[in-house]
Amino acid sequence: MNHTFTFTIDGVEVRGRPGQTIMQAADEAGIYIPRLCAHKELVPHGSCRVCTVFVNGRPQSACTQPAAPGIIVENETEALLAIRRSLIDMLFVEGNHFCPFCEKSGNCELQALAYRFGITAPQHPYLFPKRDLDASHPDIFIDRNRCILCGRCVRASRDLDGKNVFQFVGRGPGKRIAVNAKAALADTDAARTDRAVSACPVGAILRKRVGYAIPIGQRMYDAAPIGSDIEAVRADPHQ
C-alpha cells in the first residue's frame, strides 16, 4: 500500500507502483495511451513509437518507460496527436493496406487507430511495396502486405507459445517477418491456436477460413473507438 506513488498525465493525478511502466499505470487509471506493438501479455518492445508521450518534456515510449514519482506526462496534446497521426500514416503507406476487403477490418488495431485519430487518407505517398504471402500452412495464412513489423508474433511465439516460429530478417526497408524454417510456415510447428496468431494487431497473420464470420456491427471496433475499454475504467472507477 505504501509502495505506491503519484504522478500526473495531462494534469490528472495517477497512482503508480514501482516496476510499472507509464502505460500500465495509465491503463489502471483509465487513461488510454495509443499503442500498436505493446500487448498486455507481452514484454514491451518500444518499436512502433505510437505510445510516445512527453515525460518532463522529453519524448519517451510509454510502454517501456517506468512510471516514477512526480513525473509530468503529456499524452493527449495536439503535438503528440500530430506525431501519432504521422506514424500511423507512415505505417499505412509503407505496406499495402486495403481495408475495403481486408477481413481484419473492424477488428484491426491499425485501422481503429486511424479512425480514432481522424485519418481519412494518408498524407504521405504510397510506396506500394512488393510483399509476399505464405499460404503453405493448412490453418494459418500470412499476408506480409499488411505486416507493420510490430514484433508481437515474434514475442508471443517465443514467450507464450514457446516455439520461436517467427523472427525478423533484413534491415531498414528490407526488414520483414520470416519463419524459422527452410521454406515456409508449413515447415514449422505453428498451430492454429498459437498466441502468435491472435496477437497480430493487423491482418498479417490470420486463421484460415474464418474470413468475415463476424458480421459488420459486431466487430471489435464497430461500436466504440479503440481504447474505449480502458477509458471506461476512468468513467466508472468501480469497474
130 lies in the site for another protein, by CB under 8 A: no
231 near another protein, judged by CB under 8 A: no
Identify the residue among 121, 213, 223, 235 touching another protein (CB under 8 A): 213
- Give min distance, CB of 35 to another protein, in A: 27
Q: Which residues of 172-183 are buried (b: 16+ CB within 10 A; e: fewer)?
A: eeeeebbbeeee
Q: How far is the CB of 196 from another protein (least distance, A)?
A: 19
The distance from CA 183 to its chain's CA centroid, rounded to whole angstroms, is 28
Contacts of another protein in 70-109 (CB under 8 A): 100-101, 103
According to CB under 8 A, which residues from 109 to 128 bind another protein?
none
216 binds another protein (CB under 8 A): yes
Does 58 bind another protein (CB under 8 A)? Our answer is no
Q: From 75-83, 147-155, 167-175, 204-212, give the range in contact with another protein by CB under 8 A.
A: 204-212
We find the least distance from the C-beta atom of residue 177 to another protein, in angstroms, to be 18
Q: Rule CB under 8 A: is residue 215 a binding residue for another protein?
A: yes
Instruction: Give 100 or 118: the residue with its C-beta nearer to another protein.
Output: 100
Q: State the distance between the two ends of the chain, measured CA to CA, in whole angstroms.
A: 20
What DSSP assignment string belongs to 167-178?
A: EEES-GGG-EEE
- Does 131 bind another protein (CB under 8 A)? Our answer is no
Q: Report d(CA 157, CA 196) in Å as an integer.
A: 5
Task: Give the number of other Cβ atoms within 10 Å of residue 218's Cβ.
Answer: 9
How far apart are CB 108 and another protein at their closest, in Å? Answer: 14
Least distance from another protein to the Cβ atom of residue 215, Å: 4
Rg over CA atoms, the chain? 19
For strand 140-143 and strand 133-134, is the pairing parallel, antiparallel, or unpaired? antiparallel
91 neighbors 127 (Cβ within 8 angstroms): no
d(C-alpha 145, C-alpha 94), whole Å: 9
Q: Which stretch binds another protein (CB under 8 A): 7-15, 82-90, 189-197, 216-224?
A: 216-224
Residue pointed to by grid coordinates 515510449: 61
Looking at 43, 79, 82, 135, which residue binds another protein (CB under 8 A)? 135
| Min dist. Cβ of residue 95 to another protein (A) | 16
Round to whole Å and give the CA distance between 217 and 99.
16
CA–CA distance, 134 with 104 (Å, rounded to integer): 17
Q: Which residues bind another protein (CB under 8 A)?
A: 100-101, 103, 133, 135-136, 141, 208-218
